[in-house]
Each structure stands twice: as C-alpha cells, then as structure tokens.
Chains A and B, each alone.
Chain A
Amino acid sequence: MIIKYIIPVLLGVFAAPILGGLISGVDRRLTAWLQSRYGPPILQPFYDVAKLFGKKRNPVNTWQVFCAWLYCTAAMVSVIMFMLQADLLLIFFVQATGATFLVIGALSAVSPYSQIGGHRELIQILTYEPMLVLVFVGMYLVTGSFEVGTIAAYDNPLLIKLPLLFVVLGYALTIKLRKSPFDFSTSHHGHQELVKGLTTEYSGPHLALVEIGHWYEVVLVLLVVSLFWATNIFGAVILVAITYFAEIFVDNITARMTWRWMLGRVWFVGLAMSLANLVWLYAS
C-alpha cells in the first residue's frame, strides 16, 4: 500500500516541483553559460516563486484565479498519475486540461496581449497534441500497452524501435517548454511584441501557481522522454540530460518563428516521421 500508492503520490506532489524548479535553475545557468554570462544561482526559480507568493493578490478577475489554480492542480494530478503508472493518454488528457485552463484564464482578461498569447498557446497545443498522441501510439505498438508501468517494463530501450518518434517528441517538447523557435505564446524576456503574452495578466501568487504548474509539466514531459530508455536508470538520466541540453542549445541558436511556420513545419515533418516510424512497426 505505502510503496505502491503513498510514496509515488508524495514523490509526485513534492519531489516533482522541486525537481522542476532545479531543472529550471540549471536551464537558466546553462543559458547564461551559452551567452558567456555567469547567470543566477541554481535556486533562483525558488526565490522567484517565493517572492511571487509574497506579493499582494491583484487579479484582473476571479476567473483568472480559478484558472491559475486549476492549471497548477491539473498539472500536479498528471504527474501523480504518471507516478501511479496510469494510462499515458489519460495522463496527457489531464495535463491538457491544465493547459486549457491556462488559456481560458488568459482569454478571460481584457488585455489584447493576453488574448493573443492565449490564442498562440492554443495553436501550440494544436501543434503538439497530435504528435504526442502518435508517440504514445508508437509506444503502444511496441509494448502492447498505453500504461506507464508496462511500457517502462519493456525489455529493450524504446529509442531503438522509435527513433523517429523520439525526434517528433523533441518537437513537442520544444513547444511545451516554450523554447525558441516555438516560444511565441509567451517569452522569457520582456520588451517583445506581445509583452508576456499568455502570462501577461497573471500576477503575484497566481503567476507563482502558473510557474509551479509549468515545473510539473516540464517534469512530466521529461518523464515521458525517460520512457524511451526505461531499461536502465542511468540510461534514462543521460537521455533526459542530453535531450534537455539539446533543447537549451536549440533555444539559444534559433529565433522565434511564426505560428504558420510552426504548424506547417511540425505537422508536415512530424506526421511524416511518425507515420514512417509506425509503418516500420507494422512491417516488422
């Protein structure tokens, strides 16, 4: 009982955001390093979030408060479900619930910046969602199951059978992490055409909730990445580390593109690669 349920739940609730915050801190450090800067302390994301929690509540309307909370909790639930080895599709649907509410919260504000950010985020969701479903289908075709436990217990690394789908997941990951060239729903730096886009109107504690929700999401996506080398913990960690570094690298060497480019490019390349990889699986 304890090992099967309570520990995974506790890990999901507490360890995931800590890990997510640390990853975010490392991310900023590495980015600084790539830009020949020194960068903030690794714990910086925690300071940021703590500070935001300490600010006065000043929402634009009550919908936004509702949505920020649901975004964070849905992201948390999705990580818990992953820890409890639920169905990948279901986990992902729950995560999508959170993403949906984040957008609704942004759309509920009158500010056009927030509106545009919300719509762009929707296009991002539109772009990565089919890709993720196809990745899960690929996993199913190899292992015969959509469940995390069964997929993780498969005796060979999935990467060997699903190399193209791993690249597709990379696209989805870049979009989900809101990294360049797909960072157009919000950005990490001010002074851009849409201010902070999606998150413009979230402030103080509610922005902190959004940030924590994002950590949960990052952890979830990286956990999915780790499934590609689930046979060995070191393999998984190394794969995740390489993938994440590649994300940061891509973030730093590319410029933001338009949604049209993203949708066309990712769907065309992504669907072609997914179908190719799925056809292999059928053939073998």
Chain B
Amino acid sequence: MLGTLLFLLIILPFLAALGCYLFRMAFLRSLLVVGSGVVLTVCSLALIGLEPFEFKPPALLWLNADIVVSVLDFALLFLILYIGFRLKNNLIKFLAALQIVVMAYLELFMMEHGASHAAIRCDTLSLVMVLIISIIGSLICIYGLPYMRKHEQHLNLPRSRQPRFFAFMLVLLGAMNGLVLSNDLLYFYFFFEITTLCSFLLVRHDLTDIAKRNAERILWMNSVGGACFALAMMWMYPTTKTLELSAILQMAQGSNLMLWPLALLILAAFTKAAQTPFQSWLTGAMVAPTPVSALLHSSTMVKAGVYLAVRLAPAYHGTFLSTAVALFGAFVFMTTAALAMGQSNAKKVLAYSTISNLGLIFACAGLNTSAAITAAILLIIFHAISKALMFMCVGTIEQKIHSRDIEDMRGIFGKMPLVAMFAFIGALSMLLPPFGVLLSKWMAIEAAANNIFVIAMVAVGSAFTVVFWTRWAGVMSNFPSGRPEPDHQPFLTIAPLGLMTIGAIGVSIFAPWIYSHFVSAAVPAGADAYKISAGVFTTLSGAFWVYPLVVLMAAATFLALRAARKSRNDPHASPYLSGLTAVGPKTFIGPMDKPVNIQASNYYMLNVFGEEKLTMWVNMGALILLAILLGGAL
C-alpha cells in the first residue's frame, strides 16, 4: 500500500512524462496529464493519516535503489556538464565538474555503502508539501493544456514542442514529490538537481534568444546551489557518518562543527528560492510560457529552497546562523517588495512578490520559534495557492490581450469579467484579512517583534506589498460604466482557475482546522504555538480572529455586493474631466473639438524603485548579509 502510493507519487509522473514524450497525440497527452493529475491528487490525499512513516525503497530488479540513484545522479551531472560544453559556458562547466569531483570523492572514498537505511521518510511537513505539489502542481499542468495549444497557434511551429513541454512539467512534479519525501541527502540532492535541469529546459522551451540566455542563467545560478549542497554533504560526512536527514538534524543540535555545512545548505536553499543576489534567475524565468512560471513559483522549484530551510530549522536553532537567516530573509522581503513597486510587467511583479514572500518564509525559519515556523509553513501553503491563481490568471489575460503589462490590464474587467474577478480575488488574497497570507504575516510580525531589525524590515516590506497589490487590483477594476462583455474560455482553463479561487478562499476559512490537523504537527518542538478556540488563533501576546473575521467580512462583502447590484440600474455618471467629457467615457474634447483619449498610468516611482536604480544596492546588501551569514558560521 505504502509502496504503491509512493511509487505513484514519485515514479508515476516520470512514466507519464515518458508517455507524453513518446506518444505525440494531443488527446493521449491530455489524458496522461489529467490522469496523472487525478492520480497524484488522490494519492497525496490518501497519504493523510499515514504519516509519519519511514520507507526503504525496494531493490529494482537486482539493483539497489541507492545505487540507481547514485548512478543517475552522475548521469545527470554529466548531462549538465555536457550542456555546459554545448552552451560554451565556463561557469556551468566548472560548477558541474566541481560537483562531479566532490560527489565522486564523497561516494567513492568517504562513504560506506551498503548499510540499509530508510531513504524515504514522510512526516507532516513532507505531507503538507506533497499535498501542495500534487494538487496545485497538477492543476497547473492541466491548465497548461489549453494554454499551450493557444501558445503554439501563434508560433506556427513545424513540429509541436508540447510533448517535451508536458514531459518536463510532469518530471518536475515527480522530482518535487521525491525531494520532499527524501530522508537521504543523496536522494534529496538528486531530485534537487532534476528540478534545476527541468526548469532550465522549461524556460528554454520557446528557444528565443532571451529564453536561451535566461535559461543559461538558471543553470549556472542553481549549479552554485548544487555545488554548495555537494560541498556541504562532503563537509558534514566525517562528523555525522551518515547522510540521513533525520539523523543529521538530531546530531546537529548544539554542535558547532555542523554550522558550516548547514550554512552551505542554506546557501543552496537561497539560490533555489531565488533570494537576492540570485533573484535574476527567477525574474528571467518569466520569459517561459505561463504554466512554467506558475509551477516554478507556487508549488515547485523555489519551494524546494524554503522547504530545505524549514526542514533544517531545528539543526541551527539558537545559533548565530539562525539570526543571520532571519535578517537575510527580512532584508529580501523588504527589498524585493520595493523592486516589485517599480514594475509594470505583471509577471515580474509576481516574480518579485514570490521572492519577497519566500524571504519572509526564510525570515520565519530564521526566527526559529515554534510560532515563527508555523507562520513559515502556513505561508508556504497560502502563498502557493494564491500565486498559482495569480499566474494562471495573468497567463489567461495575456493570451487575450497579448500583453503582460499591468497598464494594458486597465479595465480588463470589461473584457473578461470572470477571469478578472478571479485575479481580483487572487490579488486581494495576498494582502487582506481574513485571507491566509495575512494570517501568516500576522504570525510573522508577532514572532519577529523581539528582533528590532527584522521587525522594522518586515513592517516596511509589508507596506510595499499593500501598495503594489492594491494598485494592480485597482487597475483591473478600472472600468467605465456598463455591463462587461462575457468572455468564453475553455473549460480546462476556467476549471483550474475556479478551483484555485475556491481553494484560496477555502484554505483561508479553514486555516484553524489546517493548523490543528497538519501544521501544528509539522512544527518541531512545541506543537502548541497557537491555541485555537472558536476559530481564533491565540498566543500569549495576541489573537487572530479567523471565524469572527470571516463572518464579519463576509457580511460586509454581502452588503457591499447587494448595494452594487442595486446600483447597476442607476444612471451612471460620466467621469469628471474638467467638464470636457466627450461622447465615449474614455475621451475628452480636445483642441479643434477633436476627441482625445485619456491617458492615466500608475505611479511606478521609477527613480526610487526602478529595477536599474535599486538592484545594485539590493545585491550589495544581500552579499554583505551573506558574508556575515557565512562568516558568522565559521
């Protein structure tokens, strides 16, 4: 039973990917993607209640699973090395070679093989991650089906590239499931590298010059992370004599010898989660088709980074490293939110917002109290849903209006009301009570209140967040009076969007239940960081009303909606244009009695928050903090 579930969760996506790659029929592909989505969802749900468990992967035919993973790992590294040669990129060559040498030394000369161990381990944290990956990831893949069809219609390719696209998407899901379920760092590393390779291939998908360039950047930046990971394993092995995560976590507590390898692992997590100064790979990844961005941002890839940090949190509890991670995370939260302020490119806003939220998760992991870890895990959940929703909405809108600029989304409510509503709810779910993201932000602020610098940066960062989300929501609703024209989207587009919207609202409402059933058990040491009574999260220092707020805000929204419905038949006024409103609502009477279009645009404050102005300083600050982090660990 357990074996079957794990097989379905980890190996099945690989097999389905192979199927997608080999059989080029669109119908079969849809069937495979939807089918594996359903299977993944069901299996991840079936896993609930079975945790915690350990599992020894059985020998495949006559081969030990460990050996298979090691061999594949080397194959993967050589593949990356080969890609490095193909791209003539010395950095990738060097990093891949370094990893090969380190891994070879580790596996051939240091490690004692053969000892049977449980390479797969599932506790509640892993389970939460599996649920996120399997459910949200599958929905994104399904959403990708109609998206990619439309995407290729514009490109006029001689031969469809969809088979490989969906193959890599599915591989990414399988690899992520493997990653969060691995207990052996070698397995972890293997899956870690697969996600790197997959995102490289997916971002490269369109084969435009910019896509190729940005994909190359993904590969080298994440190879830095991979190299750190490999070095960390080599470094810690003499001390720990094992690479089992659960054993390492126990050994590391209070051991100063482990700080350096831990710091390297954290660095690997930072690169994976695109924290500054590595943010450019994720912002560059925006050239990929939107399902890729949605997948990378919400449930896979970057979440591997924060998962690692949260997983390792007990190991560096109470050390300087922990404080440094908190400071670094808060710094990233603030600065990348500031960078998002200066963006009018919707996908870039989303990218920076993702990096920013991941920064907050790192900050929480660094604060390392049970309350903070709770905040981190909840934020992983809520962020995954809201971000997936936002990306899918932006993708749908982009295919309709052929632009991803926020300015071009002005009045999108009039053109595609349903999708605009979803996007509106998605944007608000990132910043307003009683939505879950705010709940975790509240937790983060209260947990950070004892560290002045962290709290100051979190306070400033969350103000930035409010501005750029509100601005966007406002632009989408910018709409002269009248009924919006209905818009027809394929079922496979609307269904994932609708489900995700319901999910975003649902998880927020059931946050207390999610906390007491999943998250509290996933928080190491101190499961009762929050007491829950009648849907209110209570600590010694404060309380977050979930149910009461849901009721109050629902009542307020109901009243507002009723008033809005009623006023649909009111005479609608023309906008105030100094008395020069022309016939159309968006024009005024200009010189020579000619109508002139109104031009209004958002404040982006480019000379303060522009990417060119800010990025250098942000990277410098981040490097200094990283130096402090690594130096302090010594």
Residues of A within 8 A of B (CB): 56-63, 65-67, 69-70, 73-74, 77, 80-81, 86-90, 93-94, 96-97, 100, 103-104, 106-116, 118-120, 122-123, 125-127, 129-130, 133-134, 137, 140-141, 144-147, 195, 200-201, 203, 260, 263, 267, 271, 274-275, 278-279, 282
| B64 is an interface residue with CB less than 8 A from chain A | no
Q: How far is the CA of A90 from the CA of B432 in the complex (A)?
A: 10
User: Are B456 and A134 in contact (CB-based, < 8 A)?
Assistant: yes
Contact of B549 among A94, A118, A130, A275 (CB under 8 A): A94
Given A96-B466, A103-B474, A110-B585, A61 and B481 touching (CB < 8 A)? yes
Kindly state whether residue B134 has any CB partner on chain A within 8 Å.
no
Contact A104 B543 (CB under 8 A): no
Q: Is B74 among interface residues, defined by CB-CB distance under 8 A? A: no
Q: How far is the CB of A271 from chain B (nearest CB, A)?
A: 6
Complex contact A61–B480 (CB within 8 A)? yes
Tell whether, in the assembled complex, residue B452 and residue A278 are in contact, meaning their CB atoms are under 8 Å apart.
yes
B543 close to A90 (CB less than 8 A): yes
| Interface residues contributed by chain B, number (CB under 8 Å) | 69
Residue from the list B464, B474, B574 in contact with A118, Cβ < 8 A: B474
Complex contact A87–B543 (CB within 8 A): yes
Closest Cβ of chain A to B623, distance in Å, is 23
Q: Judging by beta carbons under 8 Å apart, are B540 and A145 in contact? A: yes
A10 to B: closest C-beta gap in Å: 15
Docked complex Cα distance between A278 and B450 (Å): 10
- Residues of chain B within 8 A (CB-CB) of A140 are 446, 449, 541-542
Most buried by A among B473, B479, B555, B560: B560
Select which of B458, B460, B470, B480 is within 8 A of A100 by beta carbon: B470
- State which residues 453-492 of B face A: CB under 8 Å: 455-456, 458-460, 462-464, 466-467, 470-471, 473-475, 477-482
Contact B449 A141 (CB under 8 A): yes
- Does B433 lie within 8 Å of A93, measured CB to CB? yes
Q: A69-B559, A122-B467 are in contact. Are A108 and B479 (CB under 8 A)?
A: yes
Tell me if B544 and A90 are in contact (CB < 8 A). yes
Tell me if B586 is interfacial: C-beta within 8 Å of chain A: yes
Q: At the interface with chain A, which of B8-16, B146-154, B595-603?
A: B595-603
B467 touches A126 (CB 8 A): yes
A278 vs B453: C-alpha distance in the bound complex, in angstroms? 10
Asked whether, in the complex, the Cβ of A119 is within 8 Å of the Cβ of B602, the reply is yes
B7 contact set on A, CB distance < 8 A: none
**Complex interface bits, B556-570 against A, C-beta within 8 A gives 1, otherwise 0:** 110111011101101
A137 surroundings in chain B (CB, below 8 A): 445, 449, 455, 459
Do A133 and B445 touch across chains, with their CB atoms under 8 A apart?
yes
Q: Which of B582-613 touch A at CB < 8 Å?
A: 585-586, 598-600, 602-603, 608
- Closest-by-CB residue of B relative to A130 is B459
Task: Indicate whether B416 reaches chain A with its CB closer than 8 angstroms.
Answer: no
B58 within 8 A of A: no
Bound complex: CA A56 to CA B569 (Å): 12
Who on chain B is nearest to A260 by CB? Answer: B608
**A73 in contact with B541 (CB, 8 Å):** no
Residue of B nearest to A135 (CB): B459
- Across the interface, name the chain B residue whose C-beta is closest to A97: B432
- Enumerate chain B residues within 8 angstroms of A93, measured Cβ to Cβ: 432-433, 438, 442
Task: Sample 22 A-B pairs with CB under 8 A, ordered by A number.
Answer: A58-B570, A60-B480, A61-B482, A65-B567, A66-B560, A73-B559, A74-B556, A77-B552, A77-B553, A87-B542, A87-B544, A104-B473, A110-B585, A111-B575, A111-B576, A123-B603, A129-B463, A129-B466, A130-B460, A133-B445, A200-B576, A201-B573
Closest to A87 in B: B542
Report yes or no: A90 in contact with B433, Cβ–Cβ below 8 A. yes
A68 to chain B, nearest CB (A): 8
Does chain A have a CB within 8 A of B577?
yes
Is B571 in the interface zone, CB < 8 Å from A? yes
Least Cβ–Cβ distance between A1 and chain B, in angstroms: 15
Interchain CB contact (< 8 A) of B556 among A73, A119, A133, A279: A73
Q: Which of B109-153 contact A (CB under 8 A)?
A: none
B576 — nearest CB in chain A belongs to which residue?
A: A111
A67 to B543, CA, bound (A): 27
Complex Cα–Cα for A125 and B468 (A): 11
Q: How far is the CA of A260 from the CA of B563 in the complex (A)?
A: 37
Say yes or no: A89-B466 contact (C-beta < 8 A), given A65-B564, A66-B560: no
Tell whether, in the assembled complex, residue B573 and residue A133 are in contact, meaning their CB atoms are under 8 Å apart. no
Q: Which residue of A lies closest to B601 (CB)?
A: A115
Instruction: Check A100 against B449 for contact (C-beta < 8 Å).
Output: no
Complex: A127 Cα to B473 Cα, angstroms: 20
Query: Is B78 in contact with chain A by the CB < 8 A criterion?
Result: no
Q: Which of the residues B541, B567, B586, B599 comes within 8 Å of A57, measured between beta carbons? A: B567
Tell whether, in the assembled complex, residue A110 and residue B480 are in contact, meaning their CB atoms are under 8 Å apart. yes
B residues within 8 A CB of A100? 428, 431-432, 466, 470, 473
